[in-house]
Amino acid sequence: MRILLVGEYSRLHNSLKEGLTKLGHEVVIVGNGDGFKNYPVDLFLDHSFHKPFLRKLKVAFYKLTSVDLGSLEIYLKAVYKFKKMKGFDVVQLINESPLVIQAKYEKRFIKRLLKHNKKLFLLSCGIDHQCMKFMMDGKFRYSIMSPYLADRSLYKLYKFQLQYLNSEFTRLHHFIYEHANGVIATDMDYHLPLVGHPKYLGLIPNAINTEKIKYIPFTTDGKIKIFHGVNKSAIVKKGNIYFEEALKIIEKKYADKVEIKTTYSIPYEQYIKLYDDCHILLDQAYGYDQGYNALEAMAKGKVVFTGAEKEWVKHYGLEKNTVAINAKPDVNSLVKNLEWLINNPEQIEIISKNARRFIEKEHNLLKVTKRYLETWNNN
């Protein structure tokens, strides 16, 4: 099959491409590499308004006309390169806004995709209309929207997420759901809002290429090494503030037993190497399930503080096997779990091995890839 994967911001489509290519399919990824993360894509689409002066020009033009010049530029580039996006058996959008542009331009682009390709599928991956509505209705015990729900003065910080509920994006959402062959969730945070929806095709876990990611056996020089990688633009949304407060307590109390490393907005290729020698990795505190950073760290055998809520535990039947630490937005809970690991380092080794086995079983590259192929073929 010929498969077009549109959008990339977590390495999900790159991993899927690796699996599909192994199975003999032709795959093209379209996207912007997600800024500083710089993920590989085959057709690069980005705007030119990154310098301060050009950003100001873009903002001023938008205020006068309601036209976002960056969105318009990306759309026009997509039209120019569109001959390379025709004739595919399957097109998969990573999100309802796969090019990360204004809804009206996304809709025009998706109309072209529908006209010139056979099937269209949507991933619920990252924020979208369905997920946002679920969070804003308070149907999760906590979510990335929890800080905003508690403090509406954070509106500017959450402007990007909230746009998925405006009239333009709502229309885009309904347009895609009307024309797509189906919607696939990538983890529990996107699965729960879709349960019962007629277009929902089920949860397919993220694919991890364990041939490329080697397990690093647990060793220690006497200190437990903790890694905290922070994306500056998502500190509040990922709950990094809870990790920061917990680490202050741990550092003060266990200075002779721990070594803490914190980084800020590091490109992906550099980031995944920086935590190789750590034992514990702090990921996020508002999820029910793991994203790509957590899964790849688990594949390396790290004990990851991330989403590992009871719904996820039940889904994978992990009641008797700890493969990750459920990180809640609660400093005391984080400190308690960190202390348990620091004082019982043998548990780090046990969880490390459990984590690798879990990834190999549930996130196996070819197993997951075949599930995508089966879902695409049957719908």
Q: What pLDDT is attached to residue 36?
A: 66
Q: What pLDDT is attached to residue 263?
A: 92
Nearest 10 degrees: Cα torsion 195, 199, 202, 207: -130
Task: Give residue limits of the domains in the chain.
Answer: 2-207+365-378, 224-362
21-49 mean pLDDT? 88
Fold of the domain built from segment(s) 2-207+365-378: Rossmann fold (3.40.50)
**pLDDT higher than threshold 90 for residue 144:** yes
The sign of the CA dihedral 310, 312, 314, 320 is negative
286-307 mean pLDDT? 96
Question: Poorest-confidence range of 210-219, 265-274, 307-316?
Answer: 265-274
pLDDT tens for residues 320-344? 999 999 999 999 999 999 999 999 9
Q: What pLDDT is attached to residue 290?
A: 96
**pLDDT higher than threshold 80 for residue 351:** yes
116-140 mean pLDDT? 96
Domain 224-362: which CATH class?
Answer: alpha beta
Instruction: Return mean pLDDT, the chain.
Output: 95
pLDDT tens for residues 70-102? 999 999 999 999 999 999 999 999 999 999 999
**Residues 6 or more apart in contact with residue 154 via CB below 8 angstroms:** 147, 148, 236
Residue 33 pLDDT grade (very low, low, confident, very high; cuts 50, 70, 90): confident
- Between 64 and 113, where is the model more confident? 113
Equal CATH topology for 2-207+365-378 and 224-362: yes
pLDDT tens for residues 182-218? 999 999 999 999 999 999 999 999 999 999 999 999 9
| Whole-model pTM over 0.85 | yes
Q: Rounded to an integer, what distance in angstroms lies between the CA atom of residue 288 and that of residue 372?
A: 22
User: Is the Cβ–Cβ distance between 126 and 154 less than 8 Å?
Assistant: no
